[in-house]
């Protein structure tokens, strides 16, 4: 699959606000059928807010043509989504989870000597 690059940035309007979104659009050829994909990501949070794909005259196993369109979109972003940075707490918990068993094993060995 070739590399995909953002096509543009747009102002995406919802019922509650307007936010800047990055857009990726591309076509795929699967068994000589063209599938069109469109994705939008909120530029500030990186959350995917829209996905659409469509194809026309796709052939089924019985060679019957059909068309389809699928769309998924975020309709309200008024919750003020904040993505927390959990790197520090996760590293601290990992360090604790590794250190405690080592200390307990050291004490156990020291008691048996």
Give yes or no for a contact between 100 and 106, defined as CB atoms under 8 angstroms apart.
no
Determine the Cα–Cα distance for residues 52 and 43; give it in Å rounded to an integer.
Answer: 18
Helix (H/G/I), strand (E/B), else coil: 111: helix
99 and 76, same domain (yes or no):
no
Does the reported pTM lie above 0.85?
Answer: no
Do 77 and 109 have their domain in common? Answer: no
**Same-domain check for residues 58 and 89:** no
Give the bridge partners for 69, in sequence order: 54
* Residue 97 to residue 39: CA distance in whole angstroms: 40
**Measured CA distances, 26 to 16, 20, 99, 107 (Å):** 29, 20, 49, 61
Q: Are residues 91 and 78 in the same domain?
A: no
Give the range of the structural domain holding residue 21, as residue numbers without chain letter.
1-82
Residues 5 and 36 in one domain: yes
- 92 and 74 fall within a common domain: no
pLDDT in tens, the chain (113 residues): 566 777 888 888 877 778 888 998 988 887 777 888 898 888 888 888 888 888 877 776 777 777 878 888 776 655 555 555 677 788 888 888 888 888 888 777 766 65
Query: Does 12 share its domain with 65?
Result: yes
Tell me how many domains the chain contains: 2
Instruction: Please report how many Cα atoms fall inside a 13 Å half-sphere around the Cα of residue 103, on the Cβ side.
Output: 6
Q: Say yes or no: 96 and 74 in one domain.
A: no
Do 50 and 16 belong to one domain? yes
Do residue 6 and residue 49 come from a single domain? Answer: yes
3-state secondary structure of 51: strand
The verdict on 70 and 97 lying in the same domain is no
């Amino acid at each position: 699959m070739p590399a995909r690059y953002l096509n543009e940035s747009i102002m995406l309007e919802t019922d509650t606000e307007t936010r800047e979104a990055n857009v990726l659009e591309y076509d795929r050829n699967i068994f000589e059928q063209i599938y069109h994909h469109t994705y939008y990501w909120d530029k500030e949070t990186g959350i995917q807010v829209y996905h659409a794909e469509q194809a026309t005259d796709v052939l089924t196993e019985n060679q019957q043509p059909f068309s389809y369109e699928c769309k998924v979109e975020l309709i309200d972003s008024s919750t003020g989504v904040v993505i927390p940075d959990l790197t520090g707490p996760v590293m601290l918990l990992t360090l604790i989870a590794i250190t405690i068993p080592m200390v307990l094993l050291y004490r156990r060995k020291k008691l048996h000597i």
